[in-house]
Amino acid sequence: MPRILVINPNTTASMTAKIGAAARAAASPGTDIVAVNPADGPASIEGYVDEAYSVPGLLQEIRAGERQGVDAHIIACFDDTGLEAARSLAGAPVVAIGEAAFHMACLVAGRFSVVTTLSRSIPAIEHNLVKYGLAGRCARVRAAEVPVLALEDPASGAVELIAEEIEAARREDRAEAVVLGCAGMADLAARLSARHGLPVLDGVACAVRLTEGLVALGLRTSKLGGYASPLPKAYAGRYADEAGLG
């Protein structure tokens, strides 16, 4: 059975544990889920700067997983942080939770909305939807104005704020499904789906199932074109040990 490395690109271990639990709950019997986060980087990813600082640690975890011989990698950040670089570095498939959830939503609904954490995340998600060719299927990207780390605090009121946006998406956007736009929301999908009477998709679970399918089909990342392995070259300063990535 497959061994799947699930990488939370931020450094908050409690969130990694929650993500790992959600991944194991979605996985088939026998699938080995290994959930990790880098030692270096931001505590949460909220905007382009956090995203940039999280990529080196993410790539180190990808490299470690490749050395260990994992069958696939999942990037558990809804911005799909570092996805293209990770696919270039890895031979095993790399699935990111945003792209996975968008594709799954298209299989169960004609149009969907996304409910994410903060407004500053909306442009990155909208950009990804365009890049994946799925912008026409997304009615709207909404923000509950909930900081990522507030999802760790049961007293923060985050769940109700997310629920309000789901109801607005159903009423105002005519959304037929809702995608939760943060890995830290992974444990909320089932109860919010039951509460609102429409499919609510968690990207972690979607990514696990898609990844299992890729592994079962024997599909690996193409090394033609943009996902070709990086060229060997010298790296300077703090990245000197990254020489020979290819």
Same domain, yes or no, for 102 and 43? no
Q: Are 147 and 109 in contact (CB under 8 A)?
A: no
**DSSP per-residue string spanning 111-180:** SEEEEES-GGGHHHHHHHHHHTT-GGGEEEEEE----GGGGG-GGG-HHHHHHHHHHHHHHHS--SEEEE
Same domain, yes or no, for 154 and 130? yes
Same domain, yes or no, for 112 and 160? yes
Same domain, yes or no, for 71 and 188? no
Count of structural domains, the chain: 2
Tokens, residue 197: 């009477």
**What pLDDT, on a 0 to 100 scale, did the predictor assign at position 156?**
82
Same domain, yes or no, for 47 and 19? yes
Same domain, yes or no, for 67 and 186? no
pLDDT by 10s per residue, the chain, length 246 = 899 999 999 999 999 999 999 999 999 999 999 999 999 999 999 999 999 999 999 999 999 999 999 999 999 999 999 999 999 999 999 999 999 999 999 999 999 999 999 999 999 999 999 999 999 999 999 999 988 878 877 778 888 999 999 999 999 999 999 999 988 888 889 999 999 999 999 999 999 999 999 999 999 999 999 999 999 888 888 887 765 444
Same domain, yes or no, for 185 and 166? yes
Q: Which domain holds residue 229?
A: 3-97+206-242
Same domain, yes or no, for 92 and 106? no
CATH of the domain at 59: 3.40.50.12500
Same domain, yes or no, for 45 and 108? no
Q: What is the pLDDT of residues 176-223, one digit of tens each?
A: 999 999 888 888 899 999 999 999 999 999 999 999 999 999 999 999
